Amino acid sequence: MKTDLKQLSKAELTGFMEHSGQPPYRVNQIIKWIYKKTAASFDKMTDLSKDFREELKAIAVISNLSLLQRQVSEDGTQKFLFELKDGETIESVLMPNSKGRERFTLCISSQAGCATGCKFCMTGRLGLKRNLKASEIVDQVITVKRHIETWVHGPEASITNIVFMGMGEPLNNFNEVVRSLRNITGLMGFSKRRITVSTAGIVPGIRKLAYTGPDVNLAVSLNAATDRIRDEIMPVNKKYPLNKLIKACKEFPLSPNRRITFEYVMLGGINDSTADADRLVKLLSGIKSKVNLIPYNPLHKSIEFNPPLENKILRFQKTLRKAGLTVIIRKSKGSDISAACGQLKASYS
Ligand code: SAH
Ligand code: SF4
């Protein structure tokens, strides 16, 4: 089988080139073409000799995602539907940063579907189709980068932040996610400070990330401040209850000026009371944190949950702020094209 170059680390790529009798400088040339210039094939690598390109084609491939659909929301959010080699589909979401239209945050997927089964999330309803390979994770970044730089916004446009908040639970696909992180940072040159991995609370994964993974930002989808409520809306809580999760967060080593982000999806009448806010304050005491309140985005035909009332959201925020927490209310982006948090299902619409 031919080697997929996007799947290789720098050390592996170096070994691969050595093994094929190529001089070491070829490694950086290839890296530049794949990660900086987003070349989709060997033929695009015009400063490599024709003979070398043919040699490469015989033993290696540059894998690519195929773009099935791109939708643009009224608010400028774009959703990309990709097909993988085996026909599975995934989505990535590109959001313009408020500062300017040519700076973007890219939300990427780590799995096709998700096994975690959170009750409020569309991806959870799909169940897990399969883990993504590192190359498929990295390629979401490369493809969208190519898209905005060459086709839409010009060479000035750039992705400034990457969040693993699309489809899937990244820490349930630990090895491939870490491999992708190493390539996005080490080969593409993306800053670790500008990457966030979000988890539903897979405790062993959080610990492993702390000690073996690259030093990226951690976000935890807390969504409830009692085990009773969390058990109900996030089955993963039965395995990793709040005391274990909070302990792992307290022990997560944070570089200076870093904090753990706690996401809290507000479900009307379920977890949005002032008593819930008080409990959240207690839970987070002693953790360098910031809280993102995400008003529930209704799922297609869902009648299970209601969005919270505006005054409840504001009161909740006020309670947290009074206690000294940093809180933002994350307005949902792209809900008109089902690109908002929890709405990704990777099918045509
Ligand atoms: N699996 C990871 C990352 C992807 S989910 C995780 O759960 O953290 C990204 C975020 O969307 C999570 O914080 C999740 O709680 C939130 N979310 C899921 N469904 C939602 C919905 N219907 N409305 C608002 N936020 C939702
Ligand atoms: Fe999976 Fe995250 Fe959705 Fe839960 S919220 S089902 S962990 S993608």
Question: Which CATH number characterizes residue 28's domain?
Answer: 1.10.150.530
CA of 297 to the centre of ligand 1 (A): 10
Mean pLDDT of the region 10-16 = 96
Mean pLDDT of the region 134-141 = 98
Q: Which pTM was predicted?
A: 0.96
Judgement on whether residues 43 and 107 belong to the same structural domain of the protein: no
Judgement on whether residues 169 and 302 belong to the same structural domain of the protein: yes
- Predicted pLDDT at 150: 76
Judgement on whether residues 251 and 305 belong to the same structural domain of the protein: yes
Ligand lying closest to the C-alpha of residue 329:
1
The percentage of the chain sitting over the pLDDT mark of 90, rounded to a whole number, equals 82
Judgement on whether residues 19 and 141 belong to the same structural domain of the protein: no
- Predicted pLDDT at 100: 58
Judgement on whether residues 33 and 174 belong to the same structural domain of the protein: no
Judgement on whether residues 234 and 217 belong to the same structural domain of the protein: yes
Judgement on whether residues 99 and 223 belong to the same structural domain of the protein: yes
Contacts of 149 (CB under 8 A, 6+ apart): 38, 155, 157, 158
Of 61, 80, 96, which residue constitutes the final position of a domain?
61
Angle at 261 between CA 255 and CA 265, to 5 degrees: 170
Residue 347 lies in a domain: no
- Predicted pLDDT at 156: 76
Judgement on whether residues 183 and 312 belong to the same structural domain of the protein: yes
Among 118, 117, 326, 306, smallest CA distance to 222 is for 118
CA of 312 to the centre of ligand 1 (A): 20
Of 37, 61, 85, which residue constitutes the final position of a domain?
61
Residue 101 lies in a domain: yes
Atom number in ligand 1 closest to CA 299: 22
pLDDT in tens, 111-128: 999 999 999 999 998 999
pLDDT in tens, 72-93: 999 889 999 999 999 999 999 9
Kindly tell me the burial class for residue 190, based on how many C-beta atoms sit within 10 Å of its own C-beta (0-12, 13-18, 19 or more): buried
Say whether pLDDT at 339 is over 90: no
CA of 160 to the centre of ligand 1 (A): 21
Judgement on whether residues 164 and 268 belong to the same structural domain of the protein: yes
Atom number in ligand 1 closest to CA 167: 4
Catalytic machinery residues = 91, 341
**Phi, psi values for residue 70, rounded to 5°:** -130, 130
CATH assignment at residue 178? 3.20.20.70
Residue nearest ligand 1's atom 5 by CA: 165
Residue 170 lies in a domain: yes
- Predicted pLDDT at 299: 83
Residue 185 lies in a domain: yes
Say whether pLDDT at 95 is over 90: yes
What is d(CA 28, CA 210) in angstroms, rounded to the nearest whole number? 29
Judgement on whether residues 81 and 214 belong to the same structural domain of the protein: yes
pLDDT in tens, 184-211: 999 999 999 999 999 999 999 999 999 9
Strand, helix or coil at 146? helix
Residue 344 lies in a domain: no
- Predicted pLDDT at 152: 67
pLDDT in tens, 142-161: 999 999 887 666 777 899 99
Judgement on whether residues 162 and 303 belong to the same structural domain of the protein: yes
Judgement on whether residues 40 and 89 belong to the same structural domain of the protein: no
pLDDT in tens, 46-75: 989 999 999 999 999 999 999 999 999 998
Structural domain including 228 reads 66-337
Residue 348 lies in a domain: no
Residue 229 lies in a domain: yes
Say whether pLDDT at 316 is over 80: yes
pLDDT in tens, 279-292: 999 999 999 999 99
Say whether pLDDT at 302 is over 70: no
Residue 349 lies in a domain: no
Q: How confident is the model at residue 136 (pLDDT cuts 50, 70, 90)?
A: very high
Report the first-to-last Cα separation within the chain, whole angstroms: 36
State the total domains in the chain. Answer: 2
